[in-house]
Amino acid sequence: MLTPRGLCVLALAVLVAGGAWAQDDENDGGLRTPSRLTVGMGDHFLGQLTPDGHTLIFVSNRNIATEIYAQDLEGGRERRLFDEGADVTWPRISPDGRHLLYVSFRNQASGQLCVRDLPGAENRRCLEEETSALQAEWIDASHVALVSRATIQGDLHLSRVTVEKKLSAKPLLERNLTSPTLSPDGRWLVYVPVQRSVKQVGPGFAARASAHLEALRLDRPEAAPIPLALDLPGQTGQPVFSRDGRSLYVVQFFTDSNADGVIDGGDSGVLFRVPFASERDDAPQLAAASSPEQLTSVSWNCEYPAPSAESLIATCSRDGSLDVYQLPLDGQVPSAWDIARLREELTMVGRRADQLLLYRQRLLREDRPKLRRLFMMRLSLLHLAFEDFHAAEFYARGMRAVSDPDTAGLAEPLQLLIEHRRAMKDRDRGRMMDELNEAEKRRLAALEPAAAPSPPSAVFQHVVRSELYEAAGNFTQARQELEAAQVTDTTPRAVLEAWYDRADSLYRKLEDREALVEAGRRLSLSKVFPADDQLDFARAAVRALYRGRPYAEADAAMAQALASAPAGSAYAFALEMGRHVNALHEERPPREVREALLAFYRRQTDPLRRRALVQDAVERASSLGADGIQEALATVYVEDAPANTEERRRAERLFRRAMMGRAYRRLARERMDDARADFDLVTQRTGSLESAVESMNLRLRAGVSPAVVEKEVTTSVASKAGSLASFVKAYLLARQLPELDDDAHAKAVEAAVKHLRASWKDLKNQRAAHALQGAIHHEDFLRSRNAAAAERANRHYLIALDLVRNNVRYKAMILGALGLLHTQVGNFHIALGHLDQRDKLPYVDNAAGLAVSLARARALLHVGKAEESAKAADQTLAMVDASPKLAPFVPLVVDRAALYNLAAGKFERALALYDRELPLLEAAPRDTEGLRNRLVVRLARGAAALGAGLPRRTLEDLDDVDRDLATPAVRETLKWAHASPEHARRSYRLIAAGLRANAETKLGRLDAAARALEQRRALFLEQFDETDRDEDIGAVTLAELRLAENAVDRQDSAQAARWLGMAIAHADTLRERTHTPVYSGQLDVLWFAAQLHSDGNTRMPFDVLGRVGQAHQSLVDQRTPSWRSYRAWFEIYLALGANPPAEVRDAQVTPAAP
């Protein structure tokens, strides 16, 4: 195999030269994203920060058992905090940071409270009481509140444990509860009450948690628990006080996310924060009356909140695994956002989970009763659209508590609508239709628009009745109900949206284009809606007008409608815009179409209309592949959008997508200067790290010095200038790493990491920054072989992968880097997992893709999949042969393909590949690597020729190998890591001797084969004298056994007996050294000796039958299936030896031992 340095150089290229694989939106200042802190195999959960904020304590099951780990947040390296020798869980750090409590299962299988001193986790002491510890929380720095049970069937109780040299406990509260938390001033205990699910079974095994919390005054012994029912849907759990005691963090389970019919702790968790004035006597009542603040969206599924002084730690489930994340104390939505910013952000997000989060925040900031009711209605309908019936009912009930005569009566029809859709869901699950029909009739009877308490309620009742009739199959009545709704300019926006959704659904099913167009046109003229909503309805009407029609017919329909549309109205604009968008129906539109579109854009002075035009035109151009249209619109849009606005953020996002796409296309066509100009433009205007990477790559490729590159790659975005400068400096240092000597390399790694850390606050949620830091530590590992560097690289790669989301390009890049890293570390099974995912994505003909492809072939070989490894290597070779750019890597890839085919037993294919490779090496310089590679390839080709049945070719190659091994210049090149030069040279001689023995045997030259085997035996004995390794004795035993076989083939039974005597002596030595009852090498020697002994013509130097009998008894005692064949044959030979012929008895006389 060729020297591996080629692949090591390629490792960093996967990231720092493979940046063209990244093209997607970057974190651009919208909703915050929780920062991932833990990575790796297994689950990581129950995170806690030390008071100084520098160390994370968490639980992991990466090694099957649950253990407690500590992670330095600055460096990122994790370590097991202590070895308990058993499962542990529930770590909690004391308020002063000096102690750690946890639940241990070492001495008590049901759980025992233990405490250790921090930071070293020494001085273990446990509560020596016959109780089962379940959960515990610190009361103060020297006292713990412990939830435990005395017996399996007993109730739970809360104890106060004093932490001294010996832990002691006394009762605090007799009550079934879980998740206790205590206010920092010691006044309040908040917990989740639990009840037995089954009377005969203790609550520690079968309990039902209450939907609400309870609070209890600890400083008043006579105080009774106070219910603390938060104003939230679903079930509340896992309360914990903030460090200052002013807030209570909880987890709310408000949707049946796992569809088991029950809302409980098995569903997705959402973090909330509730104000709690612990100094007041009515703190629980005030908290219950407040509006909890939602901190995370349901898509994150976060639990176990652990607030520190400056951030919030939580355990979140992503992609089927648990990890610890960090986010600000006010969550994903900054508390500084006002109503205007929330309104803007709602126009930017598309995911339902984000909409629910933002609308909840919008509701909290609204005091006007009418708007509060309408926001509740919107939240209810959002939940209802995704069949979150319980949450939808909660907001529907909340609407009733709001007093506003103008919107009275909206809650009741909404509640009936929820019941109807739940019934439809039940019907899909097999509910009886007769029962359902009766319920639907009752709902229709309850809806009386004529008696509605307000006009909006009457409209909404007609909407609900329309849906009920449609569900019953009566489309005529459904249409009549919808059209009976008296929609006016005073109808609230939420009701109008519900009316339009109903119209859209019904008229589509009825295929009534005109009615749907009219519905959208009508709402676009409604004064209830702001200008942006009017425009949205107008666009919807126009889309309904031209959808499904040929281009010419669609244009004629819009022209006809435009003639009668009110001038200057949103509908008129949408029609004219629709005509321009409709004119785009080919990949390269005519120049006049493009110029007309841009002229229409420039005539618009309203930013909303410009935005709408850009959105619709870009959507159409994207579907056609009309990149020029996208680029032109993106450019004018970003130029017009005011700086430091959400409109500018939207424009930059589009500009980045469009221009980066053009830049990559130009790069693929090798228009380097044009591509660099595009990347520079994106970097200047948006501060994109991805475009900055490509700008630097192209400059460095053109020979520009790093100092000049650093000055040229900048941005005009003030908020990103500092972080971009730090990133650029770190990247340029990373690109220089492979060429630096060891001392300079270490200093450059340190400097690059320092540059990134200087702006880490701004970079930590950017995937490019984590990918770069991972690449730096990866390169550090390749040079230093320091496992800590590999751990850091792995951590940053995995965090970058978590930030990738749906970006296929970046996903491919990071998966490839992870696969390379774990292959180089030796974690081949882990590497293969990443590489198999990477292999599902397309490759490009570059060195990074080549490195990844070869790494996958290598990993397959090392996990025992030689056939697949050979196939993967052949595919890689085909990729190289098809790409002239990869010609320099042909020798390397041919060598790996030959090796993996040889390992798979495809000897003819391997031989052909080695025949192709050797001339390439002969033409290469005869330097250190060249001399070594020629010897190694000839040795491998000899093995392939032997497997292909060409022993003479094997001997020819071995003659060259022997000459090279005798040449001092070649011998000096044979060096291995962690081995002496003599050991490396001896290993090659051992391989050559073994191949020569096999080749000579196939040619029938048994004397020459014997000499080769004797040489091999002597080399192993020499190696044993030097290393004292057990495996060398085993190798000597095997060589002597083969010498015995060779002697038998030469009909020299005396010599065979001599070799068998030596072999059994060495086998006995190995068995004594390893203390194994059975050694397969010894069994092979005895089997062969018994076979030779049974003919009666050979005198053996040891008691064959006695030794065989002893071995047989050992096999019987072991009862291992893999020894079955040995046991059967030994029984046969023992039977033959019980009554041997006279000539055999004479041969059984054992001579003196040599």
3-state secondary structure 45-114: EEEEECCCCCEEEEEEEEECEEEEEEEECCCCCEEECCCCCCCEEEEEECCCCCEEEEEECCCCCCCEEE
The radius of gyration of the chain's CA atoms, rounded to the nearest angstrom, is 38
Query: According to the model, what pLDDT value does residue 251 have?
Result: 95
Q: With beta carbons less than 8 A apart as the criterion, state whether 875 and 845 touch.
A: no
* Cα torsion through 986, 990, 991, 993, rounded to 10: 130
Domain boundaries, given as residue ranges, for the chain? 36-174, 178-198+206-308
Tokens of 894: 């041919």
Tokens of 161: 């444990």
**Separation CA 237–CA 191 (nearest Å):** 8
Query: According to the model, what pLDDT value does residue 250 have?
Result: 96
SS3 944: helix
Q: What is the 3-state secondary structure (H, E, C) of 1087-1131?
A: HHHHHHHCCCCCCCCCCHHHHHHHHHHHHHHHCCHHHHHHHHHHH
Q: With beta carbons less than 8 A apart as the criterion, state whether 86 and 106 touch.
A: yes
Query: According to the model, what pLDDT value does residue 438 have?
Result: 82
Tokens of 78: 């994790």
**Separation CA 163–CA 871 (nearest Å):** 63
> How far lies 423's CA from each of 435, 569, 902, in Å?
10, 42, 65
DSSP state of 224: P
With a cut of 70, list the residues of the chain below it in pLDDT.
1-29, 197-207, 257-261, 263, 429-436, 845, 1138-1154
**Separation CA 3–CA 936 (nearest Å):** 10
Q: How many CB atoms within 10 Å of residue 237? A: 22
**Separation CA 475–CA 471 (nearest Å):** 9
Query: According to the model, what pLDDT value does residue 446 have?
Result: 92
Q: What is the 3-state secondary structure (H, E, C) of 820-860?
A: HHHHHHCCHHHHHHHHHHHHCCCCCCCHHHHHHHHHHHHHH
SS3 content of the chain, % helix, strand, coil (to 5): 60, 15, 30
Average pLDDT, the chain: 88
Torsion angles phi and psi, residue 1139, rounded to 5: -135, 70
The string of DSSP letters for 113-180 reads EEEEETTTTEEEEE--SS-EEEEEEEEETTEEEEEEESSSSSPEEEEEEE-SSS-EEEEEE-S-EEEE
Q: How many residues does the chain have?
A: 1154
Residues 6+ apart with CB under 8 A from 511: none
Query: According to the model, what pLDDT value does residue 1152 have?
Result: 36
Query: According to the model, what pLDDT value does residue 58 have?
Result: 97
Task: Find the DSSP H helices in 1003-1029.
Answer: 1006-1027
SS3 447: coil
Q: What letter represents residue 414's amino acid?
A: L
Query: According to the model, what pLDDT value does residue 1014 have?
Result: 95
Q: Which of 573, 675, 581, 682 is nearest to 624 (CA)?
A: 581
Q: At what angle do helices 531-546 and 570-582 cross, to 10 degrees?
A: 40
**Separation CA 1126–CA 1105 (nearest Å):** 14
Which region holds residue 687: left if phi is over 0, alpha if psi is between -120 and 50, else beta? Answer: left
Cα dihedral sign, 683-688-689-691: negative
Q: Tell me the β-bridge partners of 169.
A: 161
**Separation CA 850–CA 847 (nearest Å):** 5
Cα dihedral sign, 428-431-434-438: negative
Going by CATH, does the domain composed of 36-174 fall within 2.60.120.10?
Answer: no
Query: According to the model, what pLDDT value does residue 8 have?
Result: 42
Q: Tell me the β-bridge partners of 722.
A: none
Q: With beta carbons less than 8 A apart as the criterion, state whether 46 and 58 touch.
A: yes
Query: According to the model, what pLDDT value does residue 7 have?
Result: 41
Q: What letter represents residue 868's amino acid?
A: E
Q: With beta carbons less than 8 A apart as the criterion, state whether 698 and 676 touch.
A: yes
Torsion angles phi and psi, residue 195, rounded to 5: -130, 150
The string of DSSP letters for 676-708 reads HHHHHHHHHHH--HHHHHHHHHHHHHTT--HHH
Residues 6+ apart with CB under 8 A from 441: none
Torsion angles phi and psi, residue 748, rounded to 5: -65, -40
**Separation CA 376–CA 387 (nearest Å):** 16
Query: According to the model, what pLDDT value does residue 5 have?
Result: 40
**Separation CA 55–CA 878 (nearest Å):** 49
Tokens of 741: 């000597």
Query: According to the model, what pLDDT value does residue 436 have?
Result: 63
**Separation CA 235–CA 462 (nearest Å):** 34
Query: According to the model, what pLDDT value does residue 11 have?
Result: 42
**Separation CA 314–CA 249 (nearest Å):** 11
Q: What letter represents residue 368's amino acid?
A: R
Cis peptide bond upstream of 307, omega within 30? no
Residues 6+ apart with CB under 8 A from 385: 352
Torsion angles phi and psi, residue 759, rounded to 5: -120, 25
Cα dihedral sign, 334-336-342-348: negative
**Separation CA 217–CA 282 (nearest Å):** 10
> How far lies 922's CA from each of 148, 238, 541, 916, 970, in Å?
76, 70, 74, 11, 14
Q: Tell me the β-bridge partners of 193.
A: 177
Q: At what angle do helices 1080-1093 and 1053-1074 cross, to 10 degrees?
A: 150
Tokens of 523: 């709402």
Q: What stretch of H or E contains 743?
A: helix 742-758
Q: With beta carbons less than 8 A apart as the criterion, state whether 903 and 866 touch.
A: yes
